[in-house]
Structure 1
Amino acid sequence: MHVRRSLLSLAAVGALALSAGCAGDDLAEDDEPSTSASAQAGGEVTIGTQNFDEAVLVAAMYEQVLDDAGYDVTVKEVGRRDIYVNQMPDQVDVAPEYVGGIADFMNTTVNGAEAEPITTSDTTETVEAVTPLLEDKGLVLLEPSPATSQNAYFVTQEFADSEGVTALSDLEGRSVVLAAAEDCPGRPDCEAGLVDTYGIDVTEVLPLGFASPQTFKAVLDGEADLGQTGTLDGTLDDQGLVLLEDDESIQPAQNLVPLISQEFLEQHPDVEERLDELMAALDNETLGDLIARVTVDREQADDVAEEWLQEQGLVS
């Protein structure tokens, strides 16, 4: 499947406008477009996403599902959530998100870094709590997926064995350097939770990225003691790394969920059905297997997404 990732040229835009104008000439004078006719499938859509493997894979699924529905899709891959969320709804229409992640981001953005957390382990409660904040920005969450990918933290297998460390609580009172995403400091599911809940002395956060090669390398080389990845990471064993149990449960509900512009959704209601079908088809086992093909087997995310979507009948 060939899916365009660049913006339409001005010439193509002109051609579309001309085509639309000609189509309008076919209407009888007393024929008024119905509401459903003014909210049709197709047109341009921009997807914003973070650029770690899991997010890129899910964005590829969005891209191909919407391409199959007749949309001309542009994908913007960026390093941080705040970049594409701040471009919504004017420059970005849709984004693959995580329930707890977007809730934490909106809460601290609107109410300040010291705001009381609105995330919990309950998906419905978290969605309800963040909905008013999103509505004020003209955004809405669609139906969350059963698949959930939470933050997780790892050490080397050698360190775990020698120190008898199997859970984050085993690091209480220890001083550690943490390699993690840029937005980790102050987050209750990252640096703040490790400090406040687990009593870990995080002396420095190295902003090397979520589950990035740089983060893995920093821990393996001893530059960092603790690294951040996701609960579905299938690469750790082969690297000599091991996840630590989140035994105090600082991770909120992190179900995959589409974040979408309310205005775009009103103009293109068919998008909701297509993305809801995609979300419903994903579960942890499926997502874990697909992510492993990208992160371990080094298959292209586009190829993995296309094969699975066709198997599920989600694209033609």
Structure 2
Amino acid sequence: MLLRRTLAAVLTAGTLFLASACAGDNLASDDAADPTESSAAADKGSVTVAGQNFPEATLVASMYQQLLENGGYTVETKLVDSRDAYMPTFPDSVDIVPEYVGGIVNFLNSQENGGDASPFEAGDGEALAADGADLLDAAGITLLDVSPATDTNAFFVTKEYSEAEGVTALSDLEGKSVTLAAAPDCEGRLDCEGGLSDEYGIDITQVLPLGYASDQTYQSVISGEAELGETSTTDGTLDSQGLVVLEDDLQIQPAQNLVPAVGTDFLAEHADIADILNPLMAALTTEKLTELNGRIAVDREKPEDVATDFLTEAGLL
């Protein structure tokens, strides 16, 4: 998801979640103690999870934390405002990060080859992970299983506009003049105005820097000030606002499949981490992630509660 977050430079620390898995020894008298008995899971030590502090990332980080605690780990989760804030400490003092394939690969690419380096653009998560293998190896980071769930930049119109103009995919806007409400750094970017203009042939007459999936961007499109707005593919608020995402049929967005990023050395010492987190990746889909995001953004449910419900229903807890 997101080059927007990849390039962010905000270093403010966000919410800090602390939780521990209790797996202590039986402190009863010696004659009552049974060495074959244990708590719900053996104490496997501590693990530090870091991630970004926006609703979807908070949700997925909570899923990681609950699964790891259930697996016997004591978990400290640190959520911060941007990828730039935790990557300098990963994997030295951070063990696991809920990531997006395109986000972490292109972050490492820009760190290694400079901010002007051509981004990795594969539309498939597995292919993009393979393309970035050398960068990941050099950084001491291993990606676990890539989830089918993906969250990329997306562009929306009102349902009324879609029906009236016969627009369901971005290619349907070829040759049309539109105003775009988007993130402030959208202009010129391949995954935003640049790609819409150059790849799709859309005449972007103006970019209104109103924010990524912000209330101002929604209202700009709803009011007719802009025809097109920028959000994410897992935005759970669109339907309730009468908005609809257009298909990225030329796939200008780099793959942003969810994936656990783990310190390679840490994984070598704790191989069961893959067994704990890979089933979650298999269980998540883009549709399910969108539904869960809607419960947080629209229904105002707590991310940790939504995470518990999903993990329980999926048979992972």
Q: Does the TM-score normalized on the shorter chain lie above 0.5?
A: yes
Partner of 1:12: none
Q: Distance in 2 between matches of 1:299 and 1:223?
A: 32
Partner of 2:46: 43
* Partner SS state of residue 145, structure 1: coil
Q: In the alignment, residue 206 of structure 1 is paired with which amino acid? A: P
Change (3 A) 1:236 1:79: same
Matches within 5 A, 1:147-226: 147-161=149-163, 164-169=166-171, 170=173, 172=175, 174=177, 176-180=179-183, 184=186, 187-200=189-202, 201=204, 203-204=206-207, 206=209, 208-209=211-212, 211-221=213-223, 224-226=226-228
What is the deviation of 1:43? 1.0
* Partner SS state of residue 126, structure 1: helix
Matches within 5 A, 1:290-305: 290-305=292-307
Partner of 2:235: 233
Matches within 5 A, 1:1-316: 5-6=17-18, 41-51=44-54, 53-161=55-163, 164-169=166-171, 170=173, 172=175, 174=177, 176-180=179-183, 184=186, 187-200=189-202, 201=204, 203-204=206-207, 206=209, 208-209=211-212, 211-221=213-223, 224-315=226-317
Contact 1:47–1:73, Cα closer than 8 Å, also in 2: no
* Partner SS state of residue 301, structure 2: coil
Identical residues among aligned pairs (%): 48
Contact 1:154–1:229, Cα closer than 8 Å, also in 2: yes
What is the deviation of 1:131? 1.5
Deviations 1:173-195 (A, max 9, x none): 63534323x66555432233223
Unaligned stretches of 5+ in structure 1?
Answer: 9-18, 20-39
Q: Report the number of matched residues.
A: 279
Deviations 1:34-54 (A, max 9, x none): xxxxxx822141322241x32
Contact 2:142–2:264, Cα closer than 8 Å, also in 1: yes
Unaligned stretches of 5+ in structure 2?
Answer: 1-15, 25-42
Q: Distance in 2 between matches of 1:138 and 1:44?
A: 17
The worse-fitting range, judged by mean Cα deviation, of 144-153 and 81-90 is: 81-90
* Partner SS state of residue 17, structure 2: coil
Contact 2:121–2:252, Cα closer than 8 Å, also in 1: no
Q: Distance in 2 between matches of 1:123 and 1:307?
A: 27
What is the deviation of 1:144? 0.6
What is the deviation of 1:240? 2.1
**If the length of structure 2 is used for normalisation, what is the TM-score?**
0.75
Contact 2:51–2:58, Cα closer than 8 Å, also in 1: no
Q: Distance in 2 between matches of 1:310 and 1:267?
A: 28
What is the deviation of 1:207? 6.2
What is the deviation of 1:164? 5.0
What is the deviation of 1:277? 1.8
What is the deviation of 1:162? 5.4
